[in-house]
Amino acid sequence: MDAGTADDRWKELVQIVPQRTEVLRFFQFYRQLAYPFNPILVDIDRFELDLCTYLNAYAAGVFEAHSRSEKWATDQSIAHISLLLATLSAGAHFSDLDLPQRSNISHDLGNTLQNHGQSDAAWAQLGTTVRLAQTMGLHTERSIAYLPLYIQSKAKALWLGIDVTTADRDAQETAFYVNMLNHVDEVYQRALPHLTSRANCKSMHEHLEHLALKMHLSLLIGVLTRPALKQPQTQDLSYGILRERAKTSMIDASRAFLDFQALSVIPLRTWSMVHTALTSTLLLSTWEETRNDPESRDLQQRVIELFSAVSSVGQPGDSAPEYGPWLSKRHIRALITLRNTVRYTLDQEREVGVFEENPTPSEIPLPAFDLPPGFPEAVDQVGASPVSYLDSIMNVPLFDFSQETSLPNNSSRHSETYTTTAAMLESIFPTVTTPTSGRTSTPSSVVAADHDRPVTSTQTRRRRIVVAMTGATGAILGIKVLLALRRLNIETHLVMSKWAEATIKYETDYHPSNVKALADHVHNINDMAAPISSGSFRADGMIVVPCSMKTLAAIHSGFCDDLISRTADVMLKERRRLVLVARETPLSEIHLRNMLEVTRAGAIIFPPVPAFYIKAAGVDDLVDQSVGRMLDLFGLDTEDFDRWNGWEK
């Protein structure tokens, strides 16, 4: 309210004060559904007394434009009205209205929230701002890397971080987190009986409180037990405790979410609960300890079915894809990845082959992960893990500012954003007639029709790279390439050989289905009619990583007996970038001759030779440097490694 005079300010206030019918309708939803699980008001009883005073004043005609009230024109009263509008906005979000009406009302009321120094209104504004910033990805360095420089500087100004440096804690790391878990358990044991056991719940509200606490507590335990996902130096008792608690926390979080939504609309309309459910379930489908567990499989399927069936009012029922955007884009992406991961796993189990059995847990190196900034310990990385996999799913940039200048006006940009959201939603909701996944080969007729369409200045597309993985050792290189391309918002088409799947199982903690879920499109190696097999399919290049000597020989001879060699042949004939990450040592004369000939034909041979000048702290640094140099050849900067800047002085 920037009006100059007191009378002008009063006129603006009268225009935004909530009507009596709005207060009576939406405040009850806030009081019953929102406040118990987000008690942002310091004194709800005092607030209700002030609300009664407001309703009496409204009924008495105080809020008339022609008669300014000195009492209600003060900063304190305006702050109270701002807070009232915020509570009504939250109440509308949890009301029985359908999604379009809820969104419109919440948006209108939320825009009137003002901060005049009153603590409740300030905290309400802060919470809204923080969640908006997280939705935009402003809290992570990778997410803002694609924004203009002036926006990056503003985003970094929002960060507040504390670097915690500890002495050698590697040996005591698991014991440290077990001790933290013990403290959490001690606090939990002092909770009210209905919070510790659902059998003690005597009312609906107590059931809801129990399930809400179970979800949040499971998420906390999941964070504290993340060291269980990395390779331990010794298999001690503490590590076993963390590993078991990690598994239990993921299962408990998913189960509590499903039980909660059966009783109330709260979990499906609460961002933190949706986030907890999707991340926990996605980790269940990724971690080798849980992905084949029958209980975990059942929870994954139930979560997928629930989100696919949610209608516009936030309850399972008739699907309404036009109301789908109640999920954020990152959560839509997580849901699609979860569904595709489960699907690929089931499909592979139906196939009869030699490599059906997973290696035993003792044979699989358990990699490390990233912890949030400021967490008590910075854990060394040794490779990709379920947690870093989850991070790659959730932290893809939503907008490509590099193409902003080619869009003629804002409407085109909004249309592009809407189309992207609609495309993701169409892959979830079953009533839409478009393809359900986007990770299988598109019919030739569709591809031909798409590429016959003339390209105008207003049409843009993401850069498109084909990634092929063969059975050579070094599967982590291919996985890291896919992770990097996802962060860079590059459209990826993945082709994976049978032996590549076997190598992934043996060398990493990933399942092939998890790796396939990282790509935008997955093509069967025997599908010689796939779009990427044609030169008319517009691609910006191809990388074979790792590249076996058999694949190299096939490319050299032009003997295209599978989709990998055929697509590589297309890249050469179309004069497009082809990078072959050859993994073999020592090299025979035949190997060297094949490398020479494909280089003459236009390909680039890239042996992943370690760069010792970066003074790597571990294998992960060496892999990141190799992947970064590979993608340099496509004009892409991962910013994940140190470049040579001359001798340090």
Binding residues for FMN: 471-473, 497, 548-551, 583
Nearest partner of 355 among 470, 526, 501, judged by Cα: 501
Q: Which helix (H) or strand (E) holds 544?
A: strand 542-547
Instruction: Catalogue the E-assigned strands of 548-645.
Output: 578-582, 604-605
Between CA 26 and CA 23 the distance in angstroms is 6
Between CA 379 and CA 2 the distance in angstroms is 50
Output the known binding site: 471-473, 497, 548-551, 583, 613, 629
Looking up tokens 């002030």, which residue turns up?
50
Longest dimension (CA), the chain: 97
Q: Which pairing describes strands 464-469 and 542-547: parallel, antiparallel, or unpaired? A: parallel
Q: Across the beta sheet with 578-582, what order do the strands follow?
A: 521-523, 491-496, 464-469, 542-547, 578-582, 604-605
Nearest partner of 91 among 78, 80, 79, 102, judged by Cα: 102
> In whole angstroms, how far apart are CA 647 and each of 29, 528, 609, 622, 629?
65, 50, 20, 19, 20
Six token digits for residue 404:
């902003």
Q: Which helix (H) or strand (E) holds 546?
A: strand 542-547
Answer yes or no: are the C-beta atoms of 218 and 256 closer than 8 Å: yes
Between CA 156 and CA 142 the distance in angstroms is 12
Cα angle 41-42-44, degrees, rounded to a multiple of 5: 65
Answer yes or no: are the C-beta atoms of 514 and 424 closer than 8 Å: no
Nearest partner of 524 among 351, 304, 335, 390, judged by Cα: 351
Output the known binding site for dimethylallyl phosphate: 613, 629
3-state secondary structure 376-402: CCCCCCCCCCHHHHHHHHHCCCCCCHH
Between CA 490 and CA 492 the distance in angstroms is 6
Between CA 41 and CA 39 the distance in angstroms is 6
Six token digits for residue 235:
């298999």
Six token digits for residue 272:
């933190």
Answer yes or no: are the C-beta atoms of 469 and 546 closer than 8 Å: yes
Looking up tokens 């002495």, which residue turns up?
167
Which residues are CB-contacts of 649 (< 8 A; sequence separation ≥ 6)?
Answer: none
3-state secondary structure of 316: strand
Nearest partner of 80 among 39, 106, 52, judged by Cα: 52
Nearest partner of 446 among 428, 433, 459, 457, judged by Cα: 433
